[in-house]
Structure formats: C-alpha cells, structure tokens
C-alpha cells in the first residue's frame, strides 16, 4: 500500500480509504456481516488504514458494524473517520450527544477524523449559529476527536466561505475527472492546499457512472489516445495523480472490488500523468459534457420556482441521463430523489426563472422535454 500525509498531521494514510456505505446486504436490507467483515479484513490486511463511516450510512447500521470490526483488529493501526449529521442538529447539546453516541457505537475513545457531514450553504449557517465551531474545538481539546474536517456538497463560493471560516485540518470533496468544475472542484482543491487543509476525495467514479456503459464518443477519445486501460484504472489514476489528495475513498461492495482497488492503490503515485495524458482526460470530459445541451452550474439563482420545481435538481438529473445514457437507473433516481411536487411536470411555463439564469438556459423548454422523458 502507498501512504500519504495531510499537511497538518503526521498520520500516514493509505492512498485507498474504505467508504463504509455500500456493504453487501441481506435480502432484508441489513449489512451482510460475513461478507462485509471479510471485505474489511481483506482491506486491513492489504494495508488500508482509513475507514470512513457516518451516522446515517446503512440506515445507521454502519457505525456499530465498523465498531465491531475495530474490536477484531488493532485499533491503533487504523484511522477512523465519521461525521456529525448536521441536518439533524437542532441545539448545541445535540452535537455532544451525537458525538458521544458515535463513540459508543464505534466502541472507541476517540475518532481520528471527524467531519461535519455534507455541508451546504444552509446547513453551514444552521450549525455555525448553533455553535459548532466551539463544539469542535472542545471535542478536540477533550481528546474525543483528533482532526476536524467537513464534507461538502454545494458551490465553490460556499466552499470558499466555509474553508476560510475555521482552521480546518481536512475536507472531503467530490473529485473525479468529470467534475473538475463542479462543487468545490479543482479550484476548491487548490484553495484547500493553499491553506494547508488536507483533502480526502469522494466519488472518484461518480457513483460508478464513470466505469459503467461508457458512451461511444468517450470510448473513442481513449482509443484514439492509445489508452487501453480499464475505465476504473483511468478514473482512479486521475485522482491519485493529484498530490494534494491524501486519500481516495471508495465505497466498495464486493471482495473483488477491494482486491482490485488495493492492487491499483499499490501502483498509485502522484504527478505521474503526462501533459498528453491530462489532455486526453480533458477531451473525455468534453465528450461527456457535449452530450448535455445546457450547462447548469447549480448556482440556484433561478430558485425558488413559484410552482415548486426544484430546477437545478431536475436539470442535473436529466443532464446525467444524457451524459451516461443509463435511462432505467436514471429514471429510478428521478423518482427516488425528486419529490412529485418538485418535478418538471409542475412547471407552468411562467418564465419567472428565465431572466435569473446566468447560463441563459431555456428552463421552461427543458422542463417540457424532461417531463416527457420521465413521463411524470
Ligand atoms: S418557468 Fe417553470 S420552472 Fe421556471 S419558474 Fe416558472 S414554473 Fe418554475
Ligand atoms: S440559475 Fe441557471 S445555472 Fe443556476 S441553477 Fe438555475 S438553471 Fe442552473
């Protein structure tokens, strides 16, 4: 295994981190403990020492399960990351309660890497106003957490504001070769590095979409460049090439994935891709983006829609349908993630959103097309 450090820590972190959110499950939807323990042990034996869980993973079963795993190994040889569920926090006392319960669930006295989970403009304001920064400082001073960080899902401006608001040890951001300009993006990565904030990358495969059913024009880019690696190899090589990135998190679901990822992590090295390689990634990214007829930056200036349409979410999911072409999965996600009242079918074509969109997206037109596509 290859190991990397974060700027403010002497911990040697495995280049591959185990994301404990996609364990195999039983027909009843519970974690399949035999298979999942085997995967965790294979990772541990293979040198993985960063295990990332969260309060809500696997319907709250992940933390207790990871806690039982910690009892089976040498706790001191691994780093445990978990997260405060910011959207559940209503008072300052809640923060202490959640952390204490998490320590209990994980059967440990300390958490190595503690994150505010999924910060966005809204959750950040809420937890900040409730005193989260004092909570974090106190928890660190008490020895309950060793490093303070946050995971993030919003735009770059929000990322920049949060990053500058505290002396963070690390951040966890979405990093893959497609989303270089999305959410925190490469700009966010560089900003974090300039402030000596460590970076953990999540979604290196964009939820698996970068390795399944490659659109023909994207595959052509790789073939023309003489790159015959597998989609998985290309995707993780891009992330590991980034020297500022300490850990690539992978939510593995099979023992084969664990073995395959360890093999790739063993070969990983920062700054090994050539300028020509990077140009090919950039062409592949453009080939994906060319499949989408608009560029929504999720700035949300168009919101709120008087009819309740969640414009950026609807446009975002439809963009994914065009990019990856996996219509059945995408249609499932549309019904799962977008409530009926917020779907394209609600659009009355009032046009109120049109002048607010800096990208000049013909939103009502796309709402009609999207409504037909999802037949909702
Ligand atoms: S045009 Fe449609 S999406 Fe835009 S504000 Fe009006 S109802 Fe909402
Ligand atoms: S204003 Fe335009 S770019 Fe911004 S979220 Fe709305 S549709 Fe997307």
Ligand 2 proximity of 298 Cβ (cutoff 6 Å):
yes
What are the pLDDT digits (tens) for 189-233?
A: 999 999 999 999 999 998 888 998 789 999 999 999 999 999 999
Residue 328 reports pLDDT greater than 90: no
What are the pLDDT digits (tens) for 183-197?
A: 889 999 999 999 999
Q: What pLDDT shows up at residue 214?
A: 87
Percent of the chain residues topping a pLDDT of 90:
89
How far apart are the C-alpha atoms of 86 and 99, rounded to whole Å? 12
Please enumerate, as own/partner, the contacts of 361-369 that have beta carbons within 8 Å and a separation of 24 or more: 361/294, 361/295, 361/296, 361/315, 362/294, 363/302, 363/311, 363/315, 366/293, 366/294, 366/315, 366/318, 367/309, 367/314, 368/344, 369/318
DSSP assignment of 167-230 equals --SEEEEE--SS-TTSTTHHHHHHHHHHTT-EEEEE-TTTTTTTTSS--HHHHHHHHHTT--S-
Counting ligands in written order, which one lies closest to the CA of residue 360?
A: 2
pLDDT category at 299 given cuts 50, 70, 90 is confident
* Residues shown for the chain: 376
The CATH T-level fold of domain 3-282 is: TIM Barrel (3.20.20)
How far apart are the C-alpha atoms of 229 and 233, rounded to whole Å? 6
Paired tokens of 70: 């910690």
How far apart are the C-alpha atoms of 79 and 11, rounded to whole Å? 9
What are the pLDDT digits (tens) for 45-60?
A: 999 999 999 999 999 9
Share the mean pLDDT of the chain. 95
Counting ligands in written order, which one lies closest to the CA of residue 355?
A: 2
Q: What pLDDT shows up at residue 87?
A: 93
What are the pLDDT digits (tens) for 18-30?
A: 999 999 999 999 9
Q: Which range (1-5, 21-25, 94-98, 357-361) has the least confidence? A: 357-361
Ligand 2 proximity of 30 Cβ (cutoff 6 Å):
no
Please enumerate, as own/partner, the contacts of 180-186 that have beta carbons within 8 Å and a separation of 24 or more: 180/285, 182/298, 183/152, 183/153, 183/154, 183/155, 183/156, 183/159, 184/152, 184/156, 184/159, 185/156
Residue 286 reports pLDDT greater than 80: yes
pLDDT category at 341 given cuts 50, 70, 90 is very high
How far apart are the C-alpha atoms of 173 and 167, rounded to whole Å? 17
- Is the Cβ–Cβ distance between 151 and 81 less than 8 Å? no
Q: What pLDDT shows up at residue 109?
A: 98
Q: What is the mean pLDDT of residues 278-302?
A: 92
Counting ligands in written order, which one lies closest to the CA of residue 308?
A: 1
Question: For ligand 1, which residues put their CB under 6 angstroms from it?
Answer: 305-307, 309, 311, 347-353, 363-364, 367
Ligand 2 proximity of 364 Cβ (cutoff 6 Å):
no
Q: What pLDDT shows up at residue 325?
A: 83
Ligand 2 proximity of 296 Cβ (cutoff 6 Å):
yes
Q: What b/e sequence results for 183-206 when a residue is b if at least 16 CB atoms lie within 10 Å of its CB, and e otherwise? A: bbbbebbebbbeeebbbbbbbbbb
- Is the Cβ–Cβ distance between 192 and 6 less than 8 Å? no
The ranges assigned to domains in the chain are 3-282, 311-374
- Rounded to two decimals, what is the model's pTM? 0.90
Question: Exposed/middle/buried for 143, CB within 10 Å: 0-12, 13-18, 19+?
Answer: exposed
Phi, psi (degrees; rounded to nearest 5) at 86: -55, -35
What are the pLDDT digits (tens) for 255-271?
A: 999 999 999 999 999 99
Q: What is the mean pLDDT of residues 274-284?
A: 97
Residue 328 DSSP class: H
Q: What pLDDT shows up at residue 376?
A: 63
Q: Which range (32-41, 119-128, 244-253, 296-305) has the least confidence? A: 296-305
The angle subtended at Cα 281 by Cα 278 and Cα 282, nearest 5°, is 90
Q: Is the dihedral of CA 93, 95, 100, 105 positive or negative?
A: positive
Three-state DSSP class for residue 342: helix
């Amino acid at each position: 295994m290859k190991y990397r450090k974060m700027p403010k820590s002497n911990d040697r972190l495995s280049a591959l981190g185990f994301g404990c959110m996609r364990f195999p499950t039983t027909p009843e939807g519970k974690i399949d403990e035999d298979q999942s323990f085997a995967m965790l042990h294979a990772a541990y034996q293979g040198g993985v020492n960063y295990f990332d869980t969260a309060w809500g993973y696997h319907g709250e079963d992940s933390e207790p399960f990871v806690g039982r795993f910690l009892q089976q190994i040498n706790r001191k040889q691994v780093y445990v990351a978990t997260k405060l569920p910011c959207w559940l926090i209503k008072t300052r006392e809640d923060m202490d309660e959640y952390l204490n319960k998490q320590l209990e669930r994980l059967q440990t006295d300390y958490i190595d890497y503690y994150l505010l989970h999924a910060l966005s403009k809204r959750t950040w304001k809420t937890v900040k106003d409730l005193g989260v920064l004092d909570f974090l400082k106190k928890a660190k001073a008490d020895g309950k957490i060793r490093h303070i960080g946050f995971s993030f899902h919003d735009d770059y401006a929000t990322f920049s504001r949060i990053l500058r608001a505290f002396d963070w040890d690390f951040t966890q951001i979405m990093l893959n070769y497609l989303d270089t300009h999305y959410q925190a993006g490469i700009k966010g990565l560089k900003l974090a590095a300039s402030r000596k904030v460590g970076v953990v990358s999540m979604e290196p495969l964009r939820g698996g979409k970068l390795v399944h059913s490659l659109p023909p024009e994207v595959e052509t880019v790789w073939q023309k460049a003489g790159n015959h690696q597998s989609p998985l190899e290309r995707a993780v090589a891009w992330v590991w090439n980034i020297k500022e990135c300490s850990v690539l998190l992978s939510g593995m679901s099979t023992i084969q994935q664990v073995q395959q990822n360890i093999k790739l992590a063993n070969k990983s090295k920062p700054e090994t891709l050539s300028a020509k390689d990077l140009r090919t990634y950039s062409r592949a990214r453009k080939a994906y983006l060319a499949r989408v007829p608009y560029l929504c930056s999720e700035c949300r200036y168009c919101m709120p829609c008087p009819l309740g349409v969640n414009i950026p979410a609807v446009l975002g999911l439809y963009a994914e349908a065009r990019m990856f072409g996996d219509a059945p999965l995408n249609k499932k996600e549309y019904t799962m993630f977008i409530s009926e009242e917020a779907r394209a079918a609600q659009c009355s074509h009032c046009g109120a959103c049109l002048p607010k969109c800096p990208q000049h997206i013909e939103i009502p037109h796309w709402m009609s097309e999207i409504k037909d596509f999802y037949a909702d």
